[in-house]
Structure 1
Amino acid sequence: MGVLLHLLSGVALLVWGTNIVKVGILRVYGANLRHVLSASVANRFTAFLAGLGVTGLVQSSNATAVIVSSFVGQGLIAVAPALAIMLGANVGTAVMVQVFSLDLSWLSPLLIFVGVILHLTWKGSKPGHVGRVLIGLGLITLALELISIATRPVVQAAGVKVLFSTLTGDAALDMLIGALLTILCYSSLAVVLFCGALASAGVVSIHVALALVLGANLGSGISALLTTSGNNQPGKRVTLGNLLSRLLGCVVALPFLGEAEHLLALIDHDPQRLIVNFHLLFNVALAVLLLGATAPLARLCEAVLPGRNTGESQVTPRHLDPAALPTPTLALANAAREVLRIGDRVEQMLDNLLRVLRTNDAKLAAATCRIDNEVDDLYTAIKLYLTRISLEALDERDGQRWTEIISLTINLEHAGDIIERVLVDAKEKKIAHNLMFSEAGMQEIAEMHARLVSNLRLGLSVFLNGDLKSAQTLMAEKANFRELEQKYARTHLQRVAIQTAESVETSSLHLDVISELKRLNSLFCATAYPVLEQAGVLNRSRMKEDDASGTPPVQQLSTAARQ
């Protein structure tokens, strides 16, 4: 029993090391890997190579499946090239099995030693994540050594012989057992290497080990499909097509396991090498056979999973892919894209607001208030999505980005509420009484509105690219907007003082509108603060100094109101 426990602990360490490598690579190069995959769909061959290369880095075809499925779900790439990427991902996993099947025991202490130093010295930074990857690679090689040591006395253990003797019968049943092991381990790489170790130790026959390897390939496809089960229909078609291709390959290969064993024995008699060579041969042959048939396979998946992308709805989140949550960098990128949708809806509300103030269109005012409900729904979805990201898994940079995203989301949701409140006031104080702003007053509001929309767009740009110059421009616009609000408040009061009829009738609403526009502008300009603070150019106090007369601006406005 102790021998079996050591064997299982070695497998667990192998799975854990693979996961550490995957997480570390995605944190350092996650955005770049997404770019490589999205830019590789020009033809099926470049898509295949991109899938092979990315999976070779992250050590997991499931991780590649999550990224590709997200792209398809968002309509960025079609299903056919995505399936070509997955064929490359499967070959990439098989290549990594070849690498880790070599005797790398001498490398494990070096990788772990260097990795720990890098991770602890530069924790949270790029070198720290590279150290994490090295630790994972070291654990993988160490786990393989432990498995090799643990399997040596397995042959003499009577209980283990009885356990594995049940795998000497039906090859189809052995394949299903291999699939189950892969689903439980969530790593076909670990299961294939484990099968090679069992065959090398004589615990199972070569024929049984080959059937288990087929099961590992099938189980990997099932795991990927389960991982993306929360995606929309187009996203799930990728992993369905991947599973169908693996299932077809297993069905075709199962009757020829004996011939494959004899053929591969001519290349290398070593049982472990024979097993990993079969795994590579299976995936390469599958890629060769199906690379030209990805389009028909995609049509089949569309027939099995009909329906459009549910993200086309105006309210339903389009980019909050649950499958990306284990990878914080990808999840944050999804959340940032969804925040931009809120920005678009807020801009639409602003455009409608100006039309309502000009035309007294009550129906448009009601429709615009309904848009705020959409903003609230998206705000809630983004907030819940962000709370599902493990904060402990975030490095310093991702933690800062998390804060920026939630802050902008809150500000935009607040902006929607402000616009709705202005519309309600306009209906009660202006539309209900069929009042109009004075021509000069409406022109001033239109000018403030145009600058407000421009600042909203600039604020979203700063949020996206973090450009320091744009952030400084945005802060200058905030000061200019504040001065403009004070100027137009005074000019309005001057029109009231000379008894301009429209200004007298709409005075309360007019002052409220320009005040709320200033509040909106402050919310939009807040995206500049993180950029300026990081650059060290943000003043500790942003209070405006009194003017040369020594009279605060608020007191000047009160004095003008009494005149």
Structure 2
Amino acid sequence: MLTLLNLLSSIALLVWGTHIVRTGILRVYGSQLRRMLSHSLDNRLLAFSSGIGVTALVQSSNATALLTTSFVAQGLMALAPALAIMLGADVGTALMARVLTLDLSWLSPLLIFLGVIFFLSRKQTRAGQLGRVAIGLGLIILALELIVSSATPITESRGIKVLFASLTGDLLLDALVGALFALITYSSLAAVLLTATLAGAGLISLPVAIGLVIGANIGSGILAFLNASMQNAAGRRVALGSLLYKLLGLLLVMPLLRPMVDWMDGLALSPQGMVIGFHLVYNGLRCTLLLPTVGPMARLCTWLLPERQVDNGVARPRHLDRSALGTPSLALANAVRETLRIGDLVEQMLTHLLEVLRHGETAPGKEIRRLDDDVDALYSAVKLYLAQVPRDELGDHDSRRWAEIIELAVNLEQAGDIIERMLGKLQNQKTAQRHSFSDSGLEELSSLHAQLMSNLRLGLSVFLSGDRESARRLLREKRSFRARERRLAHAHVHRLHRQVVQSIETSSLHLELIADMKRLNSLFCSSAYAVLEAGETGALHAGEDNDPAEATISLADDDAVARPPGRTA
């Protein structure tokens, strides 16, 4: 029993070391890896190579599958290049299995020693995260040594010999057991290395080991499909295509198994070396031969998993992938996309508000209220999602980005509430009291509304790009808006002086709408302050314990402070 427990704990240590390496690499180079994958769209060979490189870095094809399915689910990548990346990930896993079987026993204590020193002394820096990666690599090498030593007593167990003797080389049965190995260890890499160790100890024959290796590949495909179960149909298609490719590889190798085993028996290699070599050659040939078929496979997966439109009222987040929370850079990128989606909803609300302003129709008003419910729902989702991101593991840049995202989300939610209140004022004055604006007043409000829409779009662009020149332009537009707002307020007072009846009847509403637009403009332009302050001081002035709403006001000038209704500058 103790021997089996030692073996299981060694496997667990191998899986844990792989997890540490994967998360450490993604935290340090997550954005670069995402960029590498997202730019590999036009060339299948480039996408294939990117899959190999990323998997070799993060030590896990499951991590590559997570990134790729997330891109496809968010509409950032087409299905065909994503399948090419997944084929490359299979080759990357085989390469790492070959590297990790080398005699690296001297490297394990060195990596763990240096990794702990760097990680504990410089935890929040890039060097500290690279120390985390070194710890993971050291644990992987150590775990492989422990697996070998733990498997040795198993070969002396009569019951275990009988159990593995039941595997007589039936490829389908062996593949099923190999898939179970991969599911239990949560890693095809761990399953292949365990199989190589068992073969080297003489516990299983070469045909059985080959079947287990092929099954481990299929198990990794099943794992990827299970991990993608919470994604939309587009994301699940990537995992489905990868799984179908692995099953197709099983069908291709079945008629060649016996002559291949006879040929391999004549090689002057150890059983362990033959298992690892077969894994590398099998994945390399399979993925290279199937690479030209990614287009037809993409069409097949699209046919098997069609997109289903679900309309259940309030909008649901599309980009907040909870499986990405362990990778802060990826989680922040998801939150950025969802926050920009909130900005799009606010823009739609403003568009419908103009229709109500000009024509007094009821349908746009209903749409505004529905969109405000969507804004509130998505804001809550983004806020809760960001709350789950481990802030103590964020670097300086990611920490600033976290604050910028929550600030903009708060601002957009407040903007949605202001627009809904503006709708209520309009419907009360124009519908209940049957009052209408003068032609001049309506034209002035429309022109101010157009500038407000333009500033919203520019503010979202500044938030996304972080461009300082665009941020300065946004601040100039803000000052221009404030000057126009004053001119329009004075023009309205001038019409009152001329006793224009419509202006007198709608005076309070007219001035309140101008003031509301001014508050909206301040909220839309606040992203410029975050960009400029980050460039000048290297950090935002919002403390970690401050309320996001307070941080919002601290980044804007006194225009963000609401004035009582009817007051103007």
The TM-score, its normalising length taken from structure 1, stands at 0.88
- The question of whether the paired residues in 1 share the 8 Å contact of 2:169 and 2:211 is answered with no
| Distance change in 2, residues 1:67/1:425 (3 Å) | same
| Distance change in 2, residues 1:478/1:135 (3 Å) | same
How far apart are 1:95 and its partner, in Å?
A: 0.8
CA distance in 1, matches of 2:150, 2:502: 90
CA distance in 2, matches of 1:136, 1:541: 41
How far apart are 1:43 and its partner, in Å?
A: 3.4
Across the two proteins, how many residue pairs are aligned to each other?
A: 551
How far apart are 1:55 and its partner, in Å?
A: 1.4
Q: Which amino acid aligns with 2:217?
A: N
Aligned to 1:237: 237
| Distance change in 2, residues 1:429/1:176 (3 Å) | same
How far apart are 1:294 and its partner, in Å?
A: 2.4
How far apart are 1:477 and its partner, in Å?
A: 4.6
How far apart are 1:167 and its partner, in Å?
A: 4.0
- The question of whether the paired residues in 1 share the 8 Å contact of 2:425 and 2:509 is answered with yes
- The question of whether the paired residues in 2 share the 8 Å contact of 1:183 and 1:223 is answered with yes
How far apart are 1:32 and its partner, in Å?
A: 2.3
Aligned to 1:196: 196
Aligned to 1:408: 408
CA distance in 1, matches of 2:81, 2:194: 32
Q: Which runs of 5+ in 2 are unaligned?
A: 542-553
| Distance change in 2, residues 1:109/1:541 (3 Å) | closer
Cα-Cα RMSD: 3.2
- The question of whether the paired residues in 1 share the 8 Å contact of 2:124 and 2:393 is answered with no
Q: Which amino acid aligns with 2:359?
A: T
1:89-100 residue pairs with structure 2 within 5 A? 89-100=89-100
How far apart are 1:198 and its partner, in Å?
A: 1.5
How far apart are 1:392 and its partner, in Å?
A: 5.5
Q: Which amino acid aligns with 1:504?
A: I
CA distance in 1, matches of 2:558, 2:315: 40
Aligned to 2:451: 451
- The question of whether the paired residues in 1 share the 8 Å contact of 2:186 and 2:223 is answered with yes
CA distance in 2, matches of 1:143, 1:248: 32
How far apart are 1:242 and its partner, in Å?
A: 1.1
- The question of whether the paired residues in 1 share the 8 Å contact of 2:175 and 2:212 is answered with yes
| Distance change in 2, residues 1:508/1:37 (3 Å) | same
How far apart are 1:541 and its partner, in Å?
A: 9.6
| Distance change in 2, residues 1:535/1:38 (3 Å) | closer
Aligned to 1:73: 73
- The question of whether the paired residues in 2 share the 8 Å contact of 1:228 and 1:323 is answered with no
CA distance in 2, matches of 1:292, 1:399: 42
Aligned to 1:111: 111
CA distance in 2, matches of 1:151, 1:530: 57
| Distance change in 2, residues 1:178/1:418 (3 Å) | same
Q: Which amino acid aligns with 1:42?
A: D
CA distance in 2, matches of 1:209, 1:472: 64
Aligned to 1:357: 357
- The question of whether the paired residues in 2 share the 8 Å contact of 1:231 and 1:322 is answered with no
- The question of whether the paired residues in 2 share the 8 Å contact of 1:435 and 1:506 is answered with yes
Aligned to 2:545: none
Q: Which runs of 5+ in 1 are unaligned?
A: 546-553
Aligned to 1:372: 372
Q: Which range moves more in the overlay, 386-395 or 117-126?
A: 386-395
1:306-455 residue pairs with structure 2 within 5 A? 306-307=306-307, 315-391=315-391, 393-455=393-455
How far apart are 1:279 and its partner, in Å?
A: 0.8
Matched residue of 1:153: which SS? helix
CA distance in 2, matches of 1:309, 1:327: 29
In the alignment, does 2:10 pair up with 1:44? no
Aligned to 1:6: 6
Aligned to 1:224: 224
In the alignment, does 2:541 pair up with 1:530? no
**Identity of matched residues, %:** 53
In the alignment, does 2:103 pair up with 1:123? no
CA distance in 2, matches of 1:318, 1:130: 32
CA distance in 1, matches of 2:57, 2:330: 16
CA distance in 1, matches of 2:234, 2:123: 38
Aligned to 1:548: none
**Superposed CA offset, 1:7-52 (max 9, x none):** 2222111111111111122222222222222322323322222222
CA distance in 2, matches of 1:254, 1:5: 35
CA distance in 1, matches of 2:191, 2:57: 19
How far apart are 1:238 and its partner, in Å?
A: 1.6
Q: Which amino acid aligns with 1:84?
A: A
Matched residue of 1:156: which SS? coil
- The question of whether the paired residues in 2 share the 8 Å contact of 1:436 and 1:502 is answered with yes
**Superposed CA offset, 1:299-334 (max 9, x none):** 3222322336779x9945443344434423222212
Aligned to 1:27: 27
- The question of whether the paired residues in 2 share the 8 Å contact of 1:317 and 1:338 is answered with yes
How far apart are 1:101 and its partner, in Å?
A: 0.9
- The question of whether the paired residues in 2 share the 8 Å contact of 1:234 and 1:309 is answered with no
- The question of whether the paired residues in 1 share the 8 Å contact of 2:47 and 2:81 is answered with yes
Matched residue of 1:216: which SS? helix
| Distance change in 2, residues 1:55/1:309 (3 Å) | farther
**Superposed CA offset, 1:483-519 (max 9, x none):** 6545544553454355332221111111211111122
**Superposed CA offset, 1:263-309 (max 9, x none):** 23444421111111111122122113322222332232223223367
CA distance in 1, matches of 2:461, 2:376: 22
Aligned to 2:546: none
CA distance in 2, matches of 1:160, 1:492: 92
1:179-190 residue pairs with structure 2 within 5 A? 179-190=179-190
CA distance in 2, matches of 1:197, 1:110: 24
Aligned to 1:550: none
How far apart are 1:476 and its partner, in Å?
A: 5.3
How far apart are 1:352 and its partner, in Å?
A: 2.9
CA distance in 1, matches of 2:557, 2:270: 77
CA distance in 2, matches of 1:188, 1:467: 43
- The question of whether the paired residues in 2 share the 8 Å contact of 1:114 and 1:134 is answered with yes
